[in-house]
Amino acid sequence: MTGTTSAETGLAMSEDEVFADFARRVDLAGAVVAELGGAFPPELLAANGVARWYSVDPHRQARRDAGGLREVLAARAEELPLPDASVDAVFTCNALQFIDVGPAFAEAFRVLRPGGLVHAHFGPIWSGVDGHQLEYVSYRGKPLTFWEDTFLPPWAHLLYGKEELRALLRSGLDHELADLLVWHVHDSPTINRAFYEDYLAAVAASGLEVVEAATADQLDYPITTPDYDPALLREPDLAALAAAVSARRGAPTRLGVRDVLLVLRKPGSRPRSGDS
């Protein structure tokens, strides 16, 4: 990989900020874009002069908006239903943690025109203090979110085995909820359990070149857990935990990364004047 940079601050966080950064880097006037996950509003796309926008998301209903600017494709990022070299850019915001990134980056390489960009903002959740990414989970009809329903202690996904976590959570929660959380952390198919280094390895294998790789470690909400049995709680030692994870994986693994921006380019001549 070439052109890698790293920054610990200044990373765009809101979806509006992420899109604005994308629009700054890519000349969207007349561009064809594939979005992995989500579906940005057609009014915003039209305001930026986009010619065609494909929103690829298996959890949404396939449809084409009036005017045909945006089309939602109910498909997986790992199997993009788009021709080779058919898009100018690939955009994704807060979706890669739910995707098998190896095939997804390979597909991005395939559908991009030479010189086209990938703009990816995501949380490599297994690297983060709140790595469980508690989303797409409901308990008794209420959707749970990791920033509001802070049932899981810091680093729970790495500090506790399945039965250890079950015992801890059952000491302070309804057993049904505790078992649901254990299933989500250890068995749910919605999260990819990839570390930051896994994303970089997938990029390298895809043939995409790194223009920028920026990271941020900040936790932007408080984790306030129920009163669990203190005898079952473990105090995290981040350096020791990182060493243990690195030894288990057989490669240096940095812990703490919560937000990432990757800007990638498919090698070749740049077809659009606004790429940077």
Classify strands 32-36 and 52-56 as parallel, antiparallel or unpaired.
Answer: parallel
**Please, are residues 225 and 152 in contact by the beta-carbon 8 Å criterion?**
yes
Class of domain 15-125+192-217+256-265: alpha beta
**Alpha-carbon distance 144 to 157, whole Å?**
17
pTM equals 0.89
Where do the structural domains in the chain lie, given as residue ranges? 15-125+192-217+256-265, 134-190+221-251
In which region does residue 141 sit, left (phi positive, over 0), alpha (psi from -120 to 50) or beta (all else)? left
Cα 95 to chain centroid distance, Å, stands at: 4
Q: Where are the beta strands (DSSP E) in the chain?
A: 32-36, 52-56, 63-64, 70-73, 87-93, 112-122, 137-139, 142-144, 209-216, 259-265
What is d(CA 23, CA 274) in angstroms, rounded to the nearest whole number? 9
Counting Cα atoms < 13 Å in the Cβ hemisphere of 116 gives 21
pLDDT in tens, the chain (276 residues): 333 333 444 566 688 899 999 999 999 999 999 999 987 888 899 999 999 999 999 988 999 887 889 999 999 999 999 999 999 999 999 999 999 999 999 999 999 999 999 999 999 989 999 988 888 899 999 999 999 999 999 999 999 999 999 999 999 999 999 999 999 999 999 889 999 999 999 999 999 999 999 999 988 899 999 999 999 999 999 999 999 999 999 999 999 999 999 999 999 976 444 444
